[in-house]
Structure 1
Amino acid sequence: MDGLNFSHFALQEFTLAALAFCICGLIFLLRAKFPRLSGRAEDLHSVQSMHTKLTPRVGGVGIFGALALSTLFAPVQVSERYADFILATSVLFTVGLAEDLGFHMSPRRRLLAAMAASLLAIWLLGVWLPRTGIPGLDMFVDHWAIGVPLTLLVTAAISNGFNLIDGVNGLASLTAIVAAIALSQIAQLAGYTTMTHLAMMVAAGIFGFFLLNYPFGLIFLGDAGAYTIGFVLSWFGIAILLNAPDVSPWAILLTMYWPVADTLLAIYRRSRSNKDVSAPDRLHVHQMVMRALEICILGRDQRRIANPLTTLVLMPFVVAPPIVGVLLWNQNQNAFLACMGFGVLFFGSYAAAPSLIRRFRLPSSNKGQ
């Protein structure tokens, strides 16, 4: 029976991956006929741009299509509530898609959309973040006046975090796939098997997009895709905490550590420079790594190689925290210490990066500097 269930689930996950792949592939093929699908020329000149050619940025359509289909595959006991959750997610997806299609939606509007989607999820499901792993704070999180605002903050921050790391081919989608698999494993270890299947379905849908995004960047996630996967994964983490009391919130944080750390770094960096925290820049970790590859190893005319190579370089750092999160899934103190340890490594490496780049830069890179 277990073998039959595994085959059944594997077929569902293959179907979701295939659907996302086909939708993204169709968008890529039709990009010339529908200008709004082909990308935005101004993106090539934006301060945070890491690409050199016009590319469709509506890959989120494929991922959301897989999410919508996954409601048919959800376990019967949660199918109605899961459908309600996807309905709430559609609010954020719609606003993100409007931005991707050229209808300007400011970062503030997108964050408000993330909070509105979370409010709708709270209203439809009647739940919010149940605990934080911080003893003093956990005494009050059960009350809606504390728990609801905290849930809005956490889910909006993680949604925005995935958008911030969406700068080089494959990085955001790889991070999301690893996070979904890690959440699935934590749910399995905790005996919450419903989430095991749901998280793997999300990983499958994102993988379908990943096949066209990496390494050549034929299509991008866009805001609809990045915000949606961050929103879904953050709420999956909340669902695990609600249904598996032994799971540490810090272990859940470790599964999505990279986008959270990058968001905190961006807030600190921009606040220190007296800039709007939502203002774009070229100082994210993936941007620093790509420039380091160009300056120190490949040369400045090798962007097509440096872009996907950046994801490979960062992959061990992206994957390590979720692995530790799975290993420490029910050890709250150790998971907290792991978060602090990865924080020291993350921020310390970032602080040391500029001096290392200057030390090892190619001689020809000094020209024009």
Structure 2
Amino acid sequence: MEAYDTLFISALIGFVISLGVCFGIIILSSRLHFFVDSATSDKPQRFHTDNTSRAGGLGIFIACVGACVIFFGFDKPVLGLLFGSLIIFLSGLAEDFSSALSPKLRLLLQCFGAFLACYTMHTYISDLSLGFHFPYVVGILFSVFALVGVTNATNIIDGFNGLASGVCLLIFIAIAIVAYEVQDWDIFQIAFLSTAAILGFFVLNFPYGKIFLGDGGAYFLGFLAGFLLVALTQNPSNGVSAWFGLSLMIYPVWEVLFSIFRRKRQKAHAMQPDSLHLHTLIFARLSARKVSSANAKTSLLIIAAIVPFMLISVLCYQHTALLIALCVVFVLIYTFAYRAMRI
């Protein structure tokens, strides 16, 4: 019971830190005008009407680090994970601050951060639950590729109040449930503490968007969720299928893959932001019908749609064939819905 008490106290402290830092950022940003996402910018993904701070990820990151240090102490592997996460977080925070970091440099920093976390934690993808294993070097390289992919995929869906943070909240809760079920306590504890840190931000972000996650926050949450899923699925004693990770994160992953494919067909830059994502099309439909609070309701509709897929993923975390089928079903439904929105 003592360990659980310490965990709950650490989580509560993380929640308070996240809420307090985010609230302080809101006040300072309004007075000093730093880390502000202008309501008059010409970004295609801008859908807010007030100048709003986009440094909410700072509160989540500080809270996560603080809660983990309180609970785990200065455990070297956990510190290695947090240091790798710091590099990835800073690659996004620099973009939030000045937009001066080139895409190539940002990508290199993310690759280095992912490699550092995999190396220090001795965690990488070697088994895809398909009857074969990757050699060490191939596994490390594939892990870095996959982690950088989900890192950027999470940033892609960060467009409306509560969307990215709400999806990540559900992902971390699902990770915690499965980790608890298979008694992988380190992953359960990190996921639990991360959930509390996200909640501190979420109550200020949804539904009114008092503060935004920013690239730093989206990168950090995407990377941390991806890494925990790698660690959870690559432990042979857990019995968790490698496809559990993909099925749980299929929405952001397919969003970015579909966007790249769509832009290539349109002869546009694959990584150039636009306003043709599924969530932006839904928002446009709601706005055209003059639905009140269309921003927040867009997030609610998408989250409601993906909750059944997450529930099935959690219930079937050991069954590779079912998880693969679930991913295929999601891709088909998403593609059909997207085409229906474009008509």
Which is higher, the Rg of structure 1 or of structure 2? 1
1:349 is displaced (CA, Å) by 1.2
- Cα deviations across residues 212-266 of structure 1 (Å, max 9, x unaligned)? 1011111101010000000001000111123344101111222222111211111
Q: Which residue of 2 aligns with 1:46?
A: 43
Structure 2 residue 122 is matched with structure 1 residue 126: yes
Q: Distance in 1 between matches of 2:68 and 2:190?
A: 9
After TM superposition, list the pairs within 5 Å mapping 1:311-330 onto structure 2: 311-330=299-318
Structure 2 residue 84 is matched with structure 1 residue 88: yes
Q: Aligned to 2:103, which of 104, 107, 121?
A: 107
Q: Distance in 1 between matches of 2:118 and 2:188?
A: 22
1:7 is displaced (CA, Å) by 3.9
Q: Quick one: percent identity of the two aligned structures? A: 27
- Cα deviations across residues 182-219 of structure 1 (Å, max 9, x unaligned)? 01111112221221111011111011100110111111
Letter in 1 for 2:340: A
Letter in 2 for 1:17: F
Moved beyond 6 Å, runs of 4+: none
Larger displacement relative to structure 2 (199-208 or 248-257) = 248-257
Q: Which residue of 2 aligns with 1:30?
A: 28
Does the aligned pair in 1 maintain the 2:85–2:113 contact within 8 Å? yes
Q: Distance in 2 between matches of 1:117 and 1:174?
A: 24
Does the aligned pair in 2 maintain the 1:71–1:79 contact within 8 Å? no
Letter in 2 for 1:41: S
- State the TM-score, normalizing by the size of structure 2: 0.94
Does the aligned pair in 2 maintain the 1:293–1:306 contact within 8 Å? yes
RMSD: 1.8
1:101 partner SS: helix
2:31 partner SS: coil
- Cα deviations across residues 63-99 of structure 1 (Å, max 9, x unaligned)? 11012112324447x9321111101111111121111
1:113 is displaced (CA, Å) by 2.0
Does the aligned pair in 2 maintain the 1:44–1:51 contact within 8 Å? no
Does the aligned pair in 2 maintain the 1:23–1:62 contact within 8 Å? yes
Q: Distance in 1 between matches of 2:196 and 2:129?
A: 30
Structure 2 residue 156 is matched with structure 1 residue 164: yes
Letter in 1 for 2:66: L
Structure 2 residue 322 is matched with structure 1 residue 346: no
Does the aligned pair in 2 maintain the 1:44–1:54 contact within 8 Å? no
Does the aligned pair in 2 maintain the 1:44–1:53 contact within 8 Å? no
Letter in 2 for 1:255: L
Mark the runs of 5 or more structure 1 residues left unpaired by the alignment. 356-369
- State the TM-score, normalizing by the size of structure 1: 0.88
1:167 is displaced (CA, Å) by 0.2
Letter in 1 for 2:52: T
Does the aligned pair in 2 maintain the 1:184–1:197 contact within 8 Å? yes
Q: Aligned to 1:283, which of 276, 279, 286?
A: 276
After TM superposition, list the pairs within 5 Å mapping 1:124-163 onto structure 2: 124-135=120-131, 138-139=132-133, 141=134, 143-163=135-155
Letter in 1 for 2:250: Y
Mark the runs of 5 or more structure 2 residues left unpaired by the alignment. none
- Cα deviations across residues 26-85 of structure 1 (Å, max 9, x unaligned)? 000111332223x14387311221212211001111011012112324447x93211111
Q: Which residue of 2 aligns with 1:116?
A: 112
1:123 is displaced (CA, Å) by 3.0
What count of residue pairs does the alignment treat as equivalent?
342
1:168 partner SS: coil
